[in-house]
Amino acid sequence: MQSLCDVLEKTLLQFGRGETAEQKTRNQKNLVHLRKMIDAAMLAEKLEKQNRR
């Protein structure tokens, strides 16, 4: 089973850049939100591993 972080990274890479300025702006905002989700997933995985010990 893939980790949530891996899935989010692949989603991040699949985002297109857009053709219009509005699309580019929207995609940049989405990329920022996805990056935050990836960071949160990585932190959650680390905490989960620590709690298992």
CA distances to 10, 38, 48, 50 from 25, rounded to whole Å, are: 20, 20, 35, 38
Q: Where are the domains of the chain?
A: 4-52
pLDDT at 13 > cutoff 70: no
pLDDT at 1 > cutoff 50: no
What does the pLDDT read at residue 48? 92
pTM above 0.85, yes or no: no
| C-alpha span between 16 and 20 (Å, rounded) | 12
